[in-house]
Protein backbone atom coordinates (compact mmCIF):
# COMPACT_ATOMS: atom_id res chain seq x y z
CA UNK A 1 0.00 0.00 0.00
CA UNK A 2 1.47 3.38 -0.92
CA UNK A 3 2.31 5.95 1.70
CA UNK A 4 0.74 9.40 1.81
CA UNK A 5 2.84 12.05 0.08
CA UNK A 6 3.62 13.68 3.41
CA UNK A 7 5.50 10.59 4.65
CA UNK A 8 9.22 11.33 4.90
CA UNK A 9 11.55 9.09 2.90
CA UNK A 10 13.52 7.86 5.90
CA UNK A 11 10.32 7.05 7.82
CA UNK A 12 9.03 4.91 4.95
CA UNK A 13 12.43 3.22 4.58
CA UNK A 14 12.52 2.32 8.27
CA UNK A 15 8.93 1.06 8.28
CA UNK A 16 9.57 -1.09 5.21
CA UNK A 17 12.85 -2.43 6.65
CA UNK A 18 14.85 -1.21 3.64
CA UNK A 19 18.23 -1.95 5.25
CA UNK A 20 17.32 -5.56 5.98
CA UNK A 21 16.11 -6.08 2.41
CA UNK A 22 19.27 -4.55 0.94
CA UNK A 23 21.54 -6.63 3.16
CA UNK A 24 19.58 -9.82 2.38
CA UNK A 25 19.97 -9.30 -1.36
CA UNK A 26 23.54 -8.00 -1.23
CA UNK A 27 22.61 -4.74 -2.90
CA UNK A 28 23.33 -1.18 -1.88
CA UNK A 29 21.67 2.14 -2.56
CA UNK A 30 22.78 5.66 -3.42
CA UNK A 31 20.54 8.03 -1.49
CA UNK A 32 20.00 11.74 -1.05
CA UNK A 33 20.39 13.63 2.22
CA UNK A 34 16.82 12.68 3.17
CA UNK A 35 18.23 9.28 4.15
CA UNK A 36 21.11 10.65 6.23
CA UNK A 37 21.36 8.56 9.39
CA UNK A 38 19.39 5.60 8.06
CA UNK A 39 22.29 3.15 7.82
CA UNK A 40 23.16 1.84 11.26
CA UNK A 41 26.38 -0.04 10.41
CA UNK A 42 29.32 2.27 9.55
CA UNK A 43 31.62 -0.74 8.97
CA UNK A 44 29.32 -2.31 6.35
CA UNK A 45 27.13 0.45 4.86
CA UNK A 46 24.49 -0.41 2.28
CA UNK A 47 23.00 3.08 1.94
CA UNK A 48 25.45 5.73 0.78
CA UNK A 49 24.48 9.35 1.40
CA UNK A 50 26.33 12.56 0.77
CA UNK A 51 27.89 14.98 3.20
CA UNK A 52 25.79 17.73 4.76
CA UNK A 53 27.22 21.15 5.45
CA UNK A 54 26.13 23.30 8.36
CA UNK A 55 26.72 26.92 9.18
CA UNK A 56 29.45 25.90 11.57
CA UNK A 57 31.02 23.23 9.36
CA UNK A 58 31.65 23.80 5.68
CA UNK A 59 32.35 20.94 3.32
CA UNK A 60 35.93 20.14 2.33
CA UNK A 61 36.81 19.96 -1.36
CA UNK A 62 36.93 16.15 -1.08
CA UNK A 63 33.45 16.04 0.43
CA UNK A 64 32.15 18.29 -2.34
CA UNK A 65 33.71 15.97 -4.93
CA UNK A 66 32.10 13.00 -3.18
CA UNK A 67 28.69 14.70 -3.27
CA UNK A 68 29.11 15.42 -6.99
CA UNK A 69 30.03 11.80 -7.72
CA UNK A 70 27.05 10.57 -5.71
CA UNK A 71 24.72 12.97 -7.52
CA UNK A 72 26.04 11.79 -10.89
CA UNK A 73 25.29 8.19 -9.93
CA UNK A 74 21.75 9.06 -8.93
CA UNK A 75 20.86 11.03 -12.08
CA UNK A 76 19.53 8.09 -14.15
CA UNK A 77 17.15 6.98 -11.40
CA UNK A 78 15.92 10.51 -10.70
CA UNK A 79 15.39 10.99 -14.43
CA UNK A 80 13.41 7.76 -14.56
CA UNK A 81 11.16 8.87 -11.70
CA UNK A 82 10.64 12.21 -13.42
CA UNK A 83 9.51 10.40 -16.56
CA UNK A 84 7.09 8.24 -14.57
CA UNK A 85 5.55 11.42 -13.16
CA UNK A 86 5.53 13.34 -16.45
CA UNK A 87 4.06 10.44 -18.39
CA UNK A 88 1.48 9.94 -15.62
CA UNK A 89 1.99 6.20 -15.76
CA UNK A 90 1.04 5.75 -12.13
CA UNK A 91 -2.39 7.35 -12.65
CA UNK A 92 -3.20 5.11 -15.61
CA UNK A 93 -1.83 1.82 -14.28
CA UNK A 94 -4.43 -0.80 -13.37
CA UNK A 95 -2.57 -4.03 -12.71
CA UNK A 96 -1.20 -6.32 -10.04
CA UNK A 97 1.62 -4.63 -8.04
CA UNK A 98 4.03 -7.48 -8.92
CA UNK A 99 3.49 -6.79 -12.61
CA UNK A 100 3.86 -3.06 -11.99
CA UNK A 101 7.32 -3.68 -10.51
CA UNK A 102 8.44 -5.45 -13.68
CA UNK A 103 6.96 -2.66 -15.78
CA UNK A 104 8.77 0.04 -13.77
CA UNK A 105 12.06 -1.81 -14.06
CA UNK A 106 11.66 -2.11 -17.81
CA UNK A 107 10.78 1.57 -18.13
CA UNK A 108 13.79 2.62 -16.06
CA UNK A 109 16.08 0.44 -18.20
CA UNK A 110 14.65 1.88 -21.41
CA UNK A 111 14.92 5.41 -20.06
CA UNK A 112 18.53 4.87 -19.05
CA UNK A 113 19.42 3.31 -22.39
CA UNK A 114 17.90 6.36 -24.04
CA UNK A 115 19.86 8.66 -21.70
CA UNK A 116 23.17 6.94 -22.44
CA UNK A 117 22.67 6.97 -26.21
CA UNK A 118 21.87 10.70 -26.34
CA UNK A 119 25.58 11.59 -26.23
Beta carbons within 8 Å of 108's beta carbon, 6+ residues apart = 76, 77, 80
The pLDDT assigned to 115 comes to 52
| Euclidean distance between CA atoms 24 and 27, whole angstroms | 8
Q: Is the pTM value of this prediction over 0.75?
A: no
The pLDDT assigned to 54 comes to 94
Examine the pLDDT at 104 and tell me if it is beyond 60: yes
The residue-averaged pLDDT of 83-106 equals 76
The residue-averaged pLDDT of 24-43 equals 90
15-47 residues labelled b (16+ CB within 10 A) or e (exposed): eeebbeebeeeeeebbbeeebeebbeeeeeebb
Cα distance between the two ends of the chain: 38
Amino acid sequence: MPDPGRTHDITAARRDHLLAHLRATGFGALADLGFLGLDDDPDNPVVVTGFKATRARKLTPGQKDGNRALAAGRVPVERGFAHLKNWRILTKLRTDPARATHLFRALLVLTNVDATTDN
